[in-house]
Amino acid sequence: MLLNKKSLDCISTFAGKDDARYMLNGVHIEASGNLIATDGHILGILTPGDSLDEKDFPAIGQSAGDVPALRPCTLAIDGIKALAKAIPTKSCLPIVKHALLDHTATNANGKAVFHVTDLDNPQVVNVAKLDGTFPNYVAVMPKDPPVYRIVFDAELLKRVATAALTLGKDQKMTAIELEFTASGLSAMKATSTNPDGQTLTAVVMPCRGTRPREEYGLLVPAIVKDELTA
């Protein structure tokens, strides 16, 4: 299994931090390559890509023979962050910008064994496994088909969230209320109010011109009419 820094940094965002429920302070890895993390409030699931073959990873002492299926395990978040820092990011070879998870060695002990290399300095990074059962995240997955499909431009959403968090600095929770209209490509309005009574209103402009909705960067509303009337 190959994991890159971007994937590890991404999924670490959802893991718990010093949570009393210690199994939330980690990243769960499934045999499929899915990475799962949750702090009990929000759940992140990252599915693997298939652009690179782990057989092409430079041999640096990983277990020989057939690669067995990985036994699902939960890895400590501190170890995941240390692994992400150890992965080379400047190599011209895409596969070197990954860590290879040694299934055989990982299945055999209480640590996950990763190999990383910049072709000159191979190293092994061990990440501690958490002893326990990861929450049954499948139980909280939505079961009903979607009524709306909404697409956000992550950068625009980040700017609205950053502004709201700045306005609500030092308060326990900052809420953002999003208002949608049912008229297709009309603007979206976001509001947030702090304890001082100040209210931020952010309006993300509607799409203009003939760009396909799928390429529009903000928010493609909407109601999938065919499904709603089916």
Residue 18 pLDDT? 74
Residue 220 pLDDT? 45
Measure the CA–CA gap between 70 and 96, rounded to whole angstroms: 21
Burial 154-177 (b: 16+ CB within 10 A, else e): eebbeebeeebeebbeeeeebebe
Residue 160 pLDDT? 87
Q: What is the mean pLDDT of each run of 10 residues along the chain (230 residues)?
A: 92 86 92 92 87 82 80 94 92 89 92 93 93 90 76 79 88 82 63 86 63 45 40
Residue 104 pLDDT? 93
Residue 198 pLDDT? 86
Burial 95-105 (b: 16+ CB within 10 A, else e): bbbbbbbbbeb
